[in-house]
């Protein structure tokens, strides 16, 4: 890391290095100056997940340039170039990047009060609002097919043929539930094929720990972890917030009787998001806002179950039934969401009318 820091113009003898954050994909470190009040975040990109790190750099770089020109007041975590003017350092087959540390900030890993959901959703809504007129030419997917529900369902169907036959027999109930919600795939395909449904530059990973809060005011400062900043549909951002903010229990929980949608958190995140995006929502987006929650919950459950049937080749597991429990968790959450459809649709309508 001393060599890497030199490539970004820092003197390693003047900095301490320590692991930073709670992410599991990239290796992240905090660099703190010993003699000055300077801090930076240094990150090694996981090329097993992000096959082409240069796409991340281009997406973030183009977005940063657009915001600096059109919304200079907006706090966006920009990339720091190397001494050679490059946005990534490539050393021994590994890609590294550097960004400034945002002072007086903190992050959280779970949503414990509605105001947190409001502030986080507001932050993601503001990002999408400010990028409304960003040209998307040249922008690419950093993870192709990341939220492609049709492709995920195809992988599920393939797992029923090529997966662990003993596990397939054991989880017939979970398989039948996934099949019973096949219409969600059809709704997704209609959205993707609808020319009136806009493609936007969105975050794609709107979990609460990707928002930085101000230590003094506890208001949202900005969003972080921009690896998945790429063109997509807003159902991805809204759906991921619904999936991860509204339930008290995480996707890891096996306390299945506690898994439910907290409507006050749902309302808070809708209030926060549409405090920024209300005037920019298209008629096609309005028509499908309720679908955002089921879309993301169903897709995540689908992925967990598929991985279980494929002998756990993607998600790290701690015991044999780990992915199966995750799939059950998401199935229960989706069932509860659908059972509260009228109440949740009323909340959405109140925010967009």
Instruction: Clarify whether residues 333 and 204 are in a common domain.
Output: yes
The string of pLDDT tens digits covering residues 84-130 is: 999 999 999 999 999 999 999 999 999 999 999 999 999 999 999 99
Positive or negative, the CA dihedral 62, 66, 68, 72 is negative
Question: For helices 234-245 and 292-309, what crossing angle results, to 10°?
Answer: 80
Task: Give the Cα separation of 182 and 331 in Å (integer).
Answer: 13
Q: What is the CATH number of the domain that holds 50?
A: 3.30.200.20
Residue 326: inside a domain:
yes
Output the domain CATH number for residue 131.
3.90.1200.10
pLDDT (0 to 100) of residue 300: 97
Task: Read off the pTM.
Answer: 0.95
Kindly report which listed range (37-51, 169-183, 189-203) carries the lowest average pLDDT score.
Answer: 37-51
Does some domain include residue 188? Answer: yes
Secondary structure class of 200 (helix, strand, coil): strand
| CA distances for 225 relative to 24, 99, 119, 213, angstroms | 12, 11, 17, 14
Between CA 181 and CA 173 the distance in angstroms is 13
Q: Of 46, 69, 101, which residue constitutes the final position of a domain?
A: 101
Residue 106 lies in a domain: no
- Which of 101, 132, 164 is the last residue before a domain boundary? 101
The angle that helices 149-162 and 183-193 make with each other, rounded to 10 degrees, is: 140
Confidence of residue 24 (pLDDT cuts 50, 70, 90): low
Q: Do residues 342 and 300 share a domain? A: yes
**In terms of domains, do 219 and 318 share one?**
yes
Name residue, tokens 């790190």.
Answer: 53
Q: Is the pLDDT of residue 49 over 70?
A: yes
Buried b or exposed e, range 9-47, using 16+ CB within 10 angstroms:
ebeeeebeeeebbeeeebbebbbbeeeeeebbbbbbbbe
What DSSP character marks residue 137?
T
Assess whether pLDDT exceeds 80 at residue 10: yes
What local confidence, expressed as pLDDT, does residue 22 receive? 66
Containing structural domain, residue 93: 2-101
Among 334, 290, 308, 340, residue whose Cα is nearest residue 181: 334
Round to whole Å and give the CA distance between 327 and 259: 12
Tell which of 101, 136, 170 closes a domain.
101
What is the number of domains present in the chain? 2
Same-domain status, 72 and 166: no
The string of pLDDT tens digits covering residues 230-287 is 999 999 999 999 999 999 999 999 999 999 999 999 999 999 999 999 999 999 999 9
| 308/25 Cα distance (integer angstroms) | 20
pLDDT digits (tens, 9 = 90+) for 52-88: 999 999 999 999 999 999 999 999 999 999 999 999 9
Average pLDDT over residues 332-345: 98
């Amino acid at each position: 890391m001393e060599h890497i820091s030199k490539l970004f113009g820092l003197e390693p003898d003047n900095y301490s290095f320590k692991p930073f954050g709670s992410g599991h994909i990239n290796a992240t470190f905090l660099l703190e100056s010993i003699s000055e009040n300077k801090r930076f975040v240094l990150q090694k990109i996981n090329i097993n997940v992000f096959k082409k790190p240069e796409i991340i750099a281009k997406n973030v770089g183009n977005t940063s340039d657009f915001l600096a020109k059109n919304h200079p007041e907006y706090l966006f975590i920009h990339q720091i170039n190397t001494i050679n003017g490059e946005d990534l350092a490539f050393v021994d087959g590994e890609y590294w990047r550097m960004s400034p540390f945002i002072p007086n900030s903190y992050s959280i890993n779970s949503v414990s009060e509605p105001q947190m959901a409001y502030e986080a959703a507001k932050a993601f809504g503001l990002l999408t609002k400010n990028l409304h007129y960003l040209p998307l030419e040249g922008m690419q997917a950093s993870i192709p097919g990341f939220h492609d529900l049709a492709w995920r369902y195809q992988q599920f169907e393939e797992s029923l043929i090529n997966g662990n036959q003993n596990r397939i027999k054991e989880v017939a109930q979970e398989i039948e539930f996934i099949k019973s919600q096949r219409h969600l795939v059809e709704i997704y395909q209609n959205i993707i094929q609808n020319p009136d449904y806009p493609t936007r530059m969105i975050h794609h990973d709107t979990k609460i720990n990707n928002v930085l809060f101000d230590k003094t005011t506890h208001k949202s400062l900005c969003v972080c972890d921009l690896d998945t900043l790429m063109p997509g549909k807003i159902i991805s951002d809204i759906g991921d917030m619904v999936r991860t903010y509204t339930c008290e229990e995480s996707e890891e929980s096996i306390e299945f009787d506690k898994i439910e949608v907290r409507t006050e958190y749902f309302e808070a995140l809708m209030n926060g998001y549409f405090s920024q995006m209300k005037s920019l929502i298209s008629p096609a987006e309005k028509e499908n806002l309720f679908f955002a929650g089921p879309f993301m919950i169903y897709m995540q459950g689908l992925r967990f179950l598929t991985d279980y049937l494929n002998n756990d080749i993607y998600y790290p597991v701690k015991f044999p039934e780990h992915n199966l429990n995750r799939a059950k968790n998401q199935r229960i959450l989706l069932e509860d969401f659908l059972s509260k459809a009228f109440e949740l649709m009323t909340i959405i309508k109140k925010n967009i009318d």
